[in-house]
A and B are shown apart, each in its own frame.
Chain A
């Protein structure tokens, strides 16, 4: 069955460092991969999309890579700030599909 795995442990990093979050998937060939941010008590908020034919996508301090051979995406936050502390969800979609499969998320804590 389709499976998405994200770092189950929380990630603790110091302010100013780069946070790297991992998303691995099996039994799936997504056409698109998205990353969302979720704060406690709130709904997820869309951050970035990367397509299967793209290796890397950047937006301000965020960078996403997508390796369809390894079936893995890495999500980087450079120069991290305490305000970046949240849970980050990886999501997969197939072509023309309305069905998005979400990972359980990785909780990130950035210490001042």
Chain B
């Protein structure tokens, strides 16, 4: 029973292409996130949605557009891919709880390689 799933796990594509990464969580959480982890292993937040509404949009190029059709899904579409977009992208979800405050559950990651 996968809690947070992402597809695809690996994505290799040419510069200039458009691609999407899908994320689904079956935990009933109301907040979902996208993170980018670069080669130096820094995990940087890109977007956060709470109840399908965008609440965090870090300094991310307009080429990245998240879409949340419902609370259980948060997809990431990337236009005109660039070499610098190569990274591992993680989806995560959370539910505010007193004991663990915003403990996040992460997906397995999508390794994007732009050639």
On A, residues with C-beta under 8 Å from B are: 32, 34, 41-46, 49, 51, 87, 89, 93, 97-102, 104-105
Contact = CB atoms under 8 A, between A and B. Distances in A.
Nearest 9 Cβ contacts at the A-B interface: A43-B106, A102-B43, A46-B103, A98-B48, A104-B42, A44-B106, A104-B41, A32-B101, A43-B90
B43 A44 contact: yes
A100 B40 CA distance: 18
A98 B42 contact: no
Contact of B41 (A43, A99, A101, A105): A105
Nearest to A34: B103
Given A46-B100, A49-B100, A104-B41, A98 B55 contact: yes
Main secondary structure of the interface of B (DSSP, over half): strand
Interface residues of B, number: 29
Nearest to B49: A98
Contacts of B50: 98
Contacts of B4: 43
B75 interface: no
Nearest to A93: B102
Contacts of B109: 41-43
